[in-house]
């Protein structure tokens, strides 16, 4: 790109814009500017935008003149009353001579030819810029001073230049006029920075210690990380979101390295990393994968003493937080987890649902129900009970009170410290994690029990989600539940477990329809999960209607979706639908049994033979004890094999025979066909055929 061609410069200097809004904000400004330039027919090229905590920058190459052009504007019909026509002309400030007539849709309309003279871009820019600033949208914005004007934070300066000239912008609402200068880095530069044009701006803002380009700031940080931590085995944790935030907090990134006193290194990794990342925006350093007693951080200021004081200050802040954490950790370790149960008896989970302790007891029961339904062994059952009992104990530990984001994780760590079974510890540690992070079967089962309890409980007191309101995050719980069941391929009779779980809430006077409401709610989420995985709407609706067990639904949805993607599958659906349509035409015909004696044609004889064979085959299949997925797949294959016979029947046989006996006999064959589908493959029967 040749930046020398740039001739337009706009910089908004704003009090520190929250990091999370910056990227969206500059995209928004760019869109508005481009839209308005285009509307004015100003040609633009080489548009470049940049954003930092304090400024939004828009640079471009704009044409200096907008050539004269004629705009055509459709008016009223030529036959319209004179006052209507006069009004139209008046609104555009033109005379009848500037109009011509044009036939559109067989009617004659007036078309105005509005002559736009050549204009200077410089004259158009003030309005374009001011309107763009005024129209900017923010997720959160504010007022300041006495002004009735909304922006993310107060705007303090507008620098705007075009072809080495000032663009005079005035935002009267905030008493602000554009200037020919800006300010550099808040601390490393002083006084006004004058810039006549983009290239001077680029040069001078750099000299004033501001890197306007976020990508450049990001790369500078990464390059410094690579350079500082180049020893083999040494690495820095650089989560993308943290890096982006830090990039949005500085104009002049300076990477510094602080030390952590060795005594804190006995804290569990999460307890070290959380205050570093979340509270201080530091980057943990590792040696051979293990946390090293260092942290990297990004300052905004190249200090005279190479950052010695800055480092000391930051170390002191982190030390204070870690000292707290260590104190809490060691205090917590002295108290066995079970002893926290006493506290949990006092902590109310929800007014109507009782204490956290009451909830734990219910989750224990739900674990039991799941084990019963799935025929799981005694060992696993006992293990899950232990998990449930200890699961919420960390809620009353010091550490979790201080760092709520460590709930579950600390529970797992404390359980390990008191010598619990490894599987118990990891299940406790995984309970709040997402499906991808759940790595053990006990963890998955416990998480399911936890979620079924919470969903059923809130439904029992009629606090299920409504509209956009879901204060207890039950939708997320349901989706989590579904995904865990899928990941671990668990055959769980959901309705049975929910029904038993519902029984645990019989201390409440609650609606007996709760069980069905919970199932319907979970199945609704299941539909979403299925659609997200690319299964068509019709298949989703059909399978969810015919089943309420999660794994079979998943399997059937996939099989059916595949089936319908190939020609034979589509034909099968069409045949079923065609039979149904014919039957409908004949209306109510009572019981039409088929009499072999009345068969006259090969086509009907063959089909009937095949249907009888098929029915027996399908019946056998249902009692064969095959894997349900294979069973479903086989049923579909068997039906597809019949396809030719059905097509032949439709081609050769006239159902609507003049002979009533023969007619009813043929209807009987079709009835047999459709009833086989309805009985053995209700999903196919329910699929709406329109889309295939």
Applying CB under 8 A, among 87, 120, 143, 263 the residue interacting with other proteins is: 143
Applying CB under 8 A, among 74, 87, 266, 316 the residue interacting with other proteins is: 316
CA 537 – CA 527 distance, rounded (Å): 8
The reply on whether position 303 binds other proteins by CB under 8 A is yes
CA 692 – CA 690 distance, rounded (Å): 6
Residue among 80 and 317 whose Cβ is closer to other proteins = 317
Residue among 214 and 603 whose Cβ is closer to other proteins = 214
Residue among 87 and 316 whose Cβ is closer to other proteins = 316
For 566, the token pair is 């190939």
CA 675 – CA 666 distance, rounded (Å): 14
Binding residues for other proteins, rule CB under 8 A, total 47
The pattern of x and - marking residues 223 through 262 that bind other proteins according to CB under 8 A reads --------------------------xx------------
**Residue whose token pair is 């925006």:** 281
CA 401 – CA 399 distance, rounded (Å): 5
The reply on whether position 27 binds other proteins by CB under 8 A is no
Residue among 88 and 282 whose Cβ is closer to other proteins = 282
Q: Are 550 and 526 in contact (CB under 8 A)?
A: yes
Residue among 58 and 295 whose Cβ is closer to other proteins = 295
Residue among 309 and 437 whose Cβ is closer to other proteins = 309
Q: Nearest approach, Cβ of 303 to other proteins (angstroms)?
A: 5
The reply on whether position 186 binds other proteins by CB under 8 A is yes
CA 424 – CA 434 distance, rounded (Å): 18
| Angle between helix 19-39 and helix 240-247 axes, rounded to 10 deg | 70
The reply on whether position 403 binds other proteins by CB under 8 A is no
Applying CB under 8 A, among 68, 120, 134, 144 the residue interacting with other proteins is: 144
Residues 6 or more apart whose Cβ sits within 8 Å of residue 293:
259, 260, 261, 262, 264, 265
Of 643, 668, 642, nearest to 657 (Cα)?
A: 668
The reply on whether position 423 binds other proteins by CB under 8 A is no
Q: Which stretch binds other proteins (CB under 8 A): 225-233, 260-268, 344-352, 377-385?
A: 344-352
The reply on whether position 597 binds other proteins by CB under 8 A is no
Residue among 307 and 480 whose Cβ is closer to other proteins = 307
Largest pairwise CA distance in the chain: 107
Q: Nearest approach, Cβ of 321 to other proteins (angstroms)?
A: 8
CA-derived radius of gyration, the chain: 36
CA 553 – CA 573 distance, rounded (Å): 19
The reply on whether position 310 binds other proteins by CB under 8 A is yes
The reply on whether position 473 binds other proteins by CB under 8 A is no
Residue among 15 and 237 whose Cβ is closer to other proteins = 15
CA 189 – CA 211 distance, rounded (Å): 13
Residue among 250 and 406 whose Cβ is closer to other proteins = 250
Give 645-651 contacts, CB < 8 A, sequence gap 24+: 645/603, 645/606, 645/607, 645/610, 646/575, 646/579, 646/607, 646/673, 647/571, 647/575, 648/603, 648/606, 648/607, 649/603, 649/604, 649/606, 649/607, 650/575, 650/578, 651/603
The reply on whether position 53 binds other proteins by CB under 8 A is yes
The reply on whether position 274 binds other proteins by CB under 8 A is no
Applying CB under 8 A, among 27, 278, 323, 473 the residue interacting with other proteins is: 323
Using CB under 8 A, list all residues that contact other proteins.
15-16, 18-20, 53, 140, 142-146, 148, 153-154, 156, 186-187, 249-250, 280, 297, 299-301, 303-305, 307, 309-310, 312-314, 316-320, 323-324, 327, 346, 348-351
């Amino acid at each position: 790109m040749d930046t020398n061609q740039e001739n337009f410069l706009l910089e908004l200097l704003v009090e520190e814009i929250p990091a999370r809004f910056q990227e969206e904000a500059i995209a928004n400004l760019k869109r508005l500017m481009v839209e308005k330039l285009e509307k004015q027919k100003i040609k633009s090229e080489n548009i470049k935008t940049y954003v930092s905590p304090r400024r939004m920058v828009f640079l471009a190459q704009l044409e200096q003149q907008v050539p004269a052009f004629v705009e055509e504007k459709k008016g009223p019909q030529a036959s319209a009353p004179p006052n209507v026509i006069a009004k139209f002309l008046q609104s555009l400030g033109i005379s009848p001579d500037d109009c011509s007539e044009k036939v559109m849709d067989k009617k004659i309309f007036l078309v105005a030819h509005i002559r736009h003279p050549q204009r200077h871009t410089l004259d158009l820019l003030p309005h374009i810029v001011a309107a763009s600033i005024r129209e900017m949208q923010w997720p959160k914005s504010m007022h300041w001073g006495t002004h009735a004007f909304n922006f993310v934070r107060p705007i303090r300066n507008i620098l705007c230049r075009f072809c080495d000239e000032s663009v005079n912008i005035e935002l009267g609402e905030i008493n602000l006029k554009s200037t020919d200068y800006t300010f550099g880095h808040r601390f490393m530069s002083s006084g006004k920075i004058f810039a006549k044009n983009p290239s001077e701006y680029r040069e001078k803002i750099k000299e004033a210690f501001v890197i306007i380009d976020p990508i450049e700031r990001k790369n500078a940080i990464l390059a410094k990380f690579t350079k500082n931590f180049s020893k083999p085995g040494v690495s820095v944790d650089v989560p993308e979101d943290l890096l982006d935030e830090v990039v949005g907090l500085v104009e002049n990134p300076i990477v510094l390295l602080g030390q952590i006193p060795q005594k804190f290194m006995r804290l569990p990794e999460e307890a070290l990393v959380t205050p570093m990342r979340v509270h201080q925006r530091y980057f943990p350093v590792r040696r051979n994968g293990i946390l090293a007693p260092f942290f990297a951080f990004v300052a905004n200021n190249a200090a005279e003493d190479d950052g010695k004081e800055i480092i000391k200050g930051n170390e002191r802040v982190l030390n204070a937080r870690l000292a707290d954490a260590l104190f809490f950790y060691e205090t917590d370790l002295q108290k066995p987890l079970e002893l926290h149960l006493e506290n949990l008896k006092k902590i109310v989970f929800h007014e109507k649902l009782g204490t956290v302790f009451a909830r734990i007891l219910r989750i224990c029961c739900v674990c039991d129900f799941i084990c019963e339904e799935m025929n799981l062994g005694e060992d696993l059952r006992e293990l899950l009970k232990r998990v449930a009992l200890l699961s919420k104990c960390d809620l009353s530990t010091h550490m979790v009170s201080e760092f709520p984001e460590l709930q579950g994780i600390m529970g797992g760590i404390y359980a390990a410290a008191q010598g619990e079974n490894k599987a118990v510890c990891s299940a406790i540690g995984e309970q709040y994690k997402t499906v991808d992070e759940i790595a053990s079967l006990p963890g998955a089962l416990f998480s399911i029990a936890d979620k079924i309890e919470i969903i059923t409980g809130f439904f029992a007191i009629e606090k299920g989600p409504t509209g956009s309101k879901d204060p207890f995050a039950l939708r997320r719980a349901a989706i989590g539940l579904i995904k865990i069941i899928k990941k671990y391929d668990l055959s769980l009779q959901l309705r049975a477990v929910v029904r038993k779980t519902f029984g645990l809430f019989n201390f409440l006077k609650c609606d007996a329809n709760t069980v069905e409401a919970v199932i319907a709610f979970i199945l609704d989420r299941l539909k979403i999960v299925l659609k997200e995985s690319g299964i068509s709407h019709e298949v989703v609706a059909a399978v969810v209607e015919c089943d309420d067990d999660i794994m079979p639904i998943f399997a059937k949805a996939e099989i059916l979706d595949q089936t319908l993607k190939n020609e034979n599958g589509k034909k099968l659906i069409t045949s079923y639908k065609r039979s149904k349509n014919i039957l409908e035409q004949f209306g109510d015909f009572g019981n039409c049994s088929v009499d072999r004696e009345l068969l006259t044609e090969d086509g009907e004889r063959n089909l009937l033979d095949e249907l009888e064979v098929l029915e027996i085959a399908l019946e056998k299949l249902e009692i064969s004890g095959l894997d349900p997925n294979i069973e479903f797949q086989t049923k579909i294959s068997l039906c597809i094999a019949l396809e030719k016979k059905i097509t032949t029947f439709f081609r050769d046989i006239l159902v609507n025979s003049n002979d009533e006996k023969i007619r009813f006999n043929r209807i009987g064959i079709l009835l047999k066909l459709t009833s086989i589908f309805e009985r053995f493959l209700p999903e196919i029967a329910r699929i709406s055929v329109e889309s295939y």
